[in-house]
């Protein structure tokens, strides 16, 4: 659903990973009161909306994306009263709150799944995707009984088969992610009714929207009796997806002033236009096209390549122009991705310059920008040395499955790759100050703090006008004051330039230039010479035709 000038189009979103944001009670895990304590920081940064990763009761096999009870708060995070106080405090500051909605799957400890496995003919018998499986004569690899193979050969996203056998029920169930995350069967009408009731319950509590986890996977192909490869790809954009989304919208968020962002692996612009266009059920989608630019063509996630600027320009330009009648959700990193300064910038020699250049990109495109916690400080990837140090179910699961299949000998073979890829890079604790554990906790942090926290932390940057944090503040302020940066038409300039990403944003008579040298060498450029600068990450130049390494400029286009 889309109309120009809504509160969420004008907004800048800040994503909080609660487990790693701020620990108020010394147990090493961040919590809701911890977030509450840091609201001044968010206010000063200038963000308008907070997206909270899941805070529901969960056994945390996948850090909260395995929900055991949708209507209660995980004990480590506090109580429902803490959550209510946080919401009230945000609203008092004119800030909004978006919750994460995880309804493609639940935890296997959810009462629906427990009832479903116990009583196939009972009320919850059809709540999950159960199948008998195929007869097998020699199923030595079968995750179930030797004479029964799984219904098809789909792989789960976190390694191993996408089907597990439940002894109690005597059937296979589908899980596109971990075996502890069984997929709900959305063709069962009661599943949908229960999900909508739960959503309404949260909307009634006063939340301002949902980020819908892997929502384009909820409609599975009708025939599950064959198939191989990633289960996610087979289910993305399934046959009844649009019907389910439309129904969900009509039953829940359409009746509230709420924003919705659907996380959608493998989504195309074409699909996104339908899901988010004027008659579409959602406001925005998170696509993944720029998140795989450093994937090897043959080996995908397992092969690391340098993301090329030409590809980055192509992806961004395609989404900016082809979704021009819709609205983009803009992001460069999140809790599932490596740190942006390490992935797209230079986290050593040009850390400040490249972090601020990336900030400029994120905050000057058409759409709603999402800042991931810590990127505004230029937190970088963590130097993980072993698999044992890591908690990320995806990385550990994939590596373990590859070892089990004999594709790699040991972790050592993929150490360098894992260091770049692990989701834990984004999940290390927030770096608040130079005291022990970066001021994140008085206890033992659940993941180690990045060793550079004594130099790179919020307190140090708050006192430094030439810090990444101060630049983010100025940039957010500029965006808020400049409708052309939010709504202006996007036009790519210098398409063939190998190190400069430049574009124009035009809203009526207001024409702005954004010019980014995404390279560690200077780049020559004539275009900018006479343009009055609105913001840049270097002091005013003496030579106006040369951009310095990672120089970013926002200028009036005369």
Cα–Cα dist 273/507, whole Å:
22
Please state the closest distance from residue 19 (CB atom) to ligand NOJ, in A.
11
Would you tell me which residues interact with ligand NOJ (CB under 6 A)? 62, 65, 102, 177, 213-214, 263, 335-336
Quickly tell me which residue has 């994460």 as its tokens.
100
| 3-state DSSP helix/strand/coil % of the chain, to nearest 5 | 35, 20, 50
Please state the closest distance from residue 373 (CB atom) to ligand NOJ, in A.
14
Please state the closest distance from residue 73 (CB atom) to ligand NOJ, in A.
18
Q: Within 323-374, where are the H helices?
A: 340-343, 351-363
Please state the closest distance from residue 278 (CB atom) to ligand NOJ, in A.
27
Please state the closest distance from residue 115 (CB atom) to ligand NOJ, in A.
22
Q: Which residue's CB is nearer to ligand NOJ, number 58 or number 523?
A: 58
Please state the closest distance from residue 62 (CB atom) to ligand NOJ, in A.
5
* Residue tagged active-site, from 57, 263, 346, 376: 263
Q: Which residue's CB is nearer to ligand NOJ, number 263 or number 519?
A: 263
Parallel, antiparallel, or unpaired: how do β-strands 49-52 and 329-330 relate? unpaired
Q: Which residue's CB is nearer to ligand NOJ, number 152 or number 395?
A: 395
Handedness of CA 280, 370, 301, 177 (dihedral sign): negative
Tell me the CA distances in angstroms from 490 to 286, 445, 537, one per residue in order. 19, 43, 22
Token digits for 436? 């022990």
Cα–Cα dist 418/415, whole Å:
5
Q: Which residue's CB is nearer to ligand NOJ, number 424 or number 551?
A: 424
Determine whether 385 is an active site residue: no
State phi, psi for 131 to the nearest 5 degrees: -145, 155
550: left (phi over 0), alpha (psi -120 to 50) or beta: left
Stretch (H or E) spanning 210: strand 209-212
Cα–Cα dist 450/467, whole Å:
18
Q: Which residue's CB is nearer to ligand NOJ, number 65 or number 382?
A: 65
Q: Which residue's CB is nearer to ligand NOJ, number 230 or number 549?
A: 230
323, 329, 359, 330: which is closest to 344 by C-alpha? 359
* Residue tagged active-site, from 213, 346, 519, 557: 213
Determine whether 138 is an active site residue: no
State phi, psi for 335 to the nearest 5 degrees: -70, -10
Q: Are 386 and 414 in contact (CB under 8 A)?
A: no
Q: Is 83 strand, coil or helix?
A: helix
Catalytic residues: 213, 263
């Amino acid at each position: 659903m889309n109309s120009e000038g809504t509160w969420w189009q004008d907004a800048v979103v800040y994503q909080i990973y609660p487990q790693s944001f701020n620990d108020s009670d010394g147990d090493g895990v961040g919590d809701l009161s911890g977030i509450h304590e840091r609201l001044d920081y968010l206010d000063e940064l200038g963000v308008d909306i907070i997206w909270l990763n899941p805070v529901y009761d969960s056994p945390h096999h996948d850090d909260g994306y395995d929900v055991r009870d949708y209507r209660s708060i995980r004990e480590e995070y506090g109580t429902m009263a803490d959550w209510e106080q946080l919401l009230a405090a945000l609203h008092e500051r004119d800030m909004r709150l978006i919750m994460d909605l995880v309804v493609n799957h639940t935890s296997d400890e959810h009462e629906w799944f427990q009832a479903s496995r116990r009583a196939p003919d009972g009320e919850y018998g059809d709540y999950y995707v159960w199948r008998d499986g195929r007869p097998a004569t020699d199923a030595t690899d079968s995750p179930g009984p030797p004479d029964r193979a799984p219904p098809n050969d789909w792989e789960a996203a976190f390694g191993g088969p996408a089907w597990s056998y439940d002894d109690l029920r005597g059937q296979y169930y589908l899980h596109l992610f971990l075996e502890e995350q069984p997929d709900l069967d959305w063709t069962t009408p009661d599943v949908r009714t229960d999900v909508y009731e739960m959503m309404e319950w949260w909307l009634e509590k006063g939340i301002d929207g949902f980020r819908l986890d892997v929502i384009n996977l909820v409609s599975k192909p009708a025939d599950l009796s064959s198939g191989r490869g990633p289960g996610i790809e087979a289910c993305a954009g399934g046959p009844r997806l649009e019907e389910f989304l439309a129904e969900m919208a009509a039953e829940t968020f359409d009746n509230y002033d709420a924003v919705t962002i659907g996380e959608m692996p493998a989504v195309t612009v074409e699909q996104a236009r339908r899901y988010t266009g004027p008659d579409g059920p959602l406001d925005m989608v998170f696509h993944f096209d720029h998140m795989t630019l450093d994937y090897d063509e043959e080996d995908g996630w397992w092969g690391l390549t340098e993301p090329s600027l030409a590809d980055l320009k192509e992806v961004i330009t395609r989404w900016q122009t082809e979704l021009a009648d819709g609205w983009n959700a803009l992001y460069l990193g999140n809790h599932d991705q490596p740190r942006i300064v390490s992935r797209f910038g230079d986290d050593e020699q040009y850390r400040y310059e490249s972090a601020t250049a990336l900030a400029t990109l994120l905050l000057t495109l058409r759409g709603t920008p999402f800042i991931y916690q810590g990127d505004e400080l230029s937190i970088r990837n963590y130097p993980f040395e072993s698999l044992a140090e890591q908690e990320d179910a995806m990385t550990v699961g994939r590596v373990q499955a590859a070892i089990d299949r004999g594709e790699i000998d040991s972790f050592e073979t993929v150490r360098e790759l894992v260091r770049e890829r692990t989701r834990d890079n984004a999940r290390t604790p927030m770096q608040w100050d130079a005291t022990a554990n970066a001021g994140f906790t008085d206890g033992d942090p659940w993941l180690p703090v990045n060793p550079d926290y004594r130099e790179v932390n919020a307190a140090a940057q708050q006192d430094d006008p030439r810090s990444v944090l101060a630049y983010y503040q100025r940039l957010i302020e500029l965006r808020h004051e400049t409708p052309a940066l939010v709504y202006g038409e996007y036009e790519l300039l210098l398409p063939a330039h190998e190190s400069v990403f430049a574009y124009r944003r035009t809203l009526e008579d207001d024409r702005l230039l954004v010019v980014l040298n995404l390279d560690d060498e200077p780049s020559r450029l004539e275009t900018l010479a006479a343009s009055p600068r609105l913001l840049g990450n270097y002091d005013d130049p003496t030579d106006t035709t040369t951009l310095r390494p990672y120089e970013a400029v926002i200028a009036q286009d005369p």
